[in-house]
Amino acid sequence: MKILHVVGARPNFIKVAPVIAALREREGVVQILVHTGQHYDINMTDIFFDQLGIPEPNVNLEVGSESQAAQTANIMVRLERILLDDRPDLVLVYGDVNSTLAAALVCAKQLIPVGHIEAGLRSFDRTMPEEINRLLTDQIADFLFTPSPEADENLMREGVPQGKIHLVGNVMIDTLVRLLPHAQERWPSLQFSMKLNGQFGLVTLHRPSNVDSSSRLSSIISALNTISNDMPLYFPIHPRTRQRLASLLLNIDKTKLNIIDPIGYMDFLAMQNHAMLVITDSGGIQEETTFLRVPCLTMRENTERPITVKLGTNILVGQDMEKLKREVYRILNGEVKQGSVPPLWDGKTSERIAEIVIGWNNRRK
């Protein structure tokens, strides 16, 4: 059986790693890893691939950063050639980036079965490009591997046949479970080098709605400045956001609000695990903090991962900076939301995916 994985950004690699590992244990499975090159990430070094236990991609389409339409079209054109040459039995796509939808569309035209890992997530906000990618990919895919029950409900409400839907759990947690002990080993040296003494908060923001507007970014930094008076904050920041921040000429106490360069997955995981709280707009971090039982304040009006709010430690604060500060002080005062880990977020999701895929392949012979 020949399986081709399509990934386009660093979070996709974190998701694909355990699936590749699980399928590697199955006899007769050939795997091809295609990186579309949708996102350039300075932290995707050889060490990154070594830590995840995956090889360098077999193919890099090198599409780069362009408009939504141009990027999607370029991925489709370049991937079509790969699929015509390799003719895989199954293509697995991950998450909700442009690469996910582009690959699904090409496969549908070539009648190649597609499996969508992390299917059924919905923010119900169609202004988000990711929401469009999720909706359309799930209508095309033959296998919909979902992380939580409400994802199944979303798909059935949209008319997806129940036989295509497989509740398997969260593949990101598979990687977290495997690498957390190694991240813990790095903690003492990281703690020393970054002077992480006592309680601290971790900040990660990347969505255009938060970082591309000067007035919005100024408001966020003002709130973070206030919060950092009571607890030091560490903010790994993208170079483009750092440049934008510098142009605003804001007064930042750099001993309390620590603007640092982006860090690798292992170091970030170690910091998450030891943080007093995390402030983010990332979907994946909402999931990781839920598993780690670390309070998470999400600077978005909605989330496609409502189970992290319902069962986990996640609280939506939107663009309300006063609410953000109130929730931070509630956490500092010990009023912590006691979350639980959702069912099937147990580090074995990739094994369940592999069983379903191999079972399907055996039945069709």
Residues in Cβ contact with 358 at an 8 Å cutoff, skipping those fewer than 6 apart: 1, 26, 29
Same domain, 151 and 186: no
**Long-range residue pairs from 280-286, CB within 8 A, at least 24 positions apart, any chain:** 280/203, 280/204, 280/205, 281/204, 281/205, 281/206, 281/207, 281/209, 281/210, 282/204, 282/206, 283/121, 284/11, 284/14, 284/172, 285/204, 286/312, 286/314
**Residue 289: CATH number of its domain:** 3.40.50.2000
- Say which of 116, 206, 238, 274 is annotated catalytic: 206
Question: ∠ at Cα 126 (120, 64), nearest 5°?
Answer: 85
Same domain, 230 and 304: yes
What does pTM read for this prediction?
Answer: 0.94
Domain-located, residue 315 = yes
Q: Among this protein's residues, is 206 annotated catalytic?
A: yes
Same domain, 158 and 183: no
Q: What is the pLDDT of residue 227?
A: 96
Same domain, 139 and 265: no
Domain-located, residue 340 = no
Domain region containing 186? 175-332
- pLDDT in 10s for each residue of the chain, 365 residues: 999 999 998 889 999 999 999 999 999 999 999 999 876 665 666 667 888 888 889 999 988 878 889 999 999 999 999 999 999 999 999 999 999 999 999 999 999 999 999 999 999 999 999 999 999 999 999 999 999 999 999 999 999 999 999 999 999 999 999 999 999 999 999 999 998 988 999 999 988 888 888 889 999 999 999 999 999 999 998 877 888 888 787 777 777 999 998 888 999 999 999 999 999 999 999 999 999 999 999 999 999 999 999 999 999 999 999 999 999 999 999 998 889 999 999 999 999 999 999 999 999 87
Q: What is the pLDDT of residue 45?
A: 62
Strands of 165-167's sheet in order across: 59-60, 30-35, 2-7, 90-94, 114-117, 143-146, 165-167
Domain count for the chain, please give it: 2
Domain-located, residue 337 = no
Q: What is the pLDDT of residue 307?
A: 97
Same domain, 146 and 186: no
Same domain, 8 and 129: yes
Domain-located, residue 29 = yes
Residue 61 has phi, psi (to 5 degrees) of: -75, -20
Q: What is the pLDDT of residue 53?
A: 87
Alpha-carbon distance 131 to 142, whole Å? 19
Domain-located, residue 339 = no
Q: What is the pLDDT of residue 67?
A: 86
Same domain, 188 and 314: yes
Alpha-carbon distance 188 to 183, whole Å? 10
Chain center to CA of 282:
7
DSSP characters over 14-25: HHHHHHHHHHHT
